Amino acid sequence: MGTEDFRVVLVDDDVDACQTLSELLTIDGYSVRVANTAQDAITAVNEYQPVCALLDLGLPDFDGCELSKRLRAAHGSDLVLIALTGRAGEAEHNEAMAAGVDHVLRKPLSLENLRRFFPPLN
């Protein structure tokens, strides 16, 4: 299987954090597309057909839970949704899970935690 089979859409309005995470995933063998708004994320997922989307829950146009609901409705359970959040509350975690997210990871995201979900491919 080639690395093009491991497509990931990374969604975060923090451009620097997004770039760093994208570079790490690319070095580890993933093919990454970046979006900085929820609307851009919908377009990226529709065009790119990723295996997984990592979604920041705090986006400028609409939140990650609403984005998760829309992506889940459009793409079903084949798309793995992983939410990234800087908040530690259980309520937000539960809301994300109810919106169709498969996993919730806390920011700042450690390399060890990232690699639990995205082990190096090369």
**CA 96 distance to own-chain centroid:** 12
Task: Compute the mean pLDDT over every residue in the chain, rounded to the nearest whole number.
Answer: 92
- At position 65, the amino acid (one-letter code) is C
Distances (CA, A) of 12 to 3, 57, 60, 121: 23, 8, 9, 23
Check: CB of residue 32 under 8 Å from CB of residue 25: yes
pLDDT of residue 3: 47
Phi, psi angle pair for 65, to nearest 5°: -70, -45
Domain 3-117 listed as CATH 2.40.30.10 = no
pLDDT of residue 80: 96
Q: Is the dihedral of CA 46, 29, 113, 37 positive or negative?
A: negative
Check: CB of residue 42 under 8 Å from CB of residue 67: yes
pLDDT tens per residue across span 15-46:
999 999 999 999 999 999 999 999 999 999 99
List the chain domain ranges: 3-117
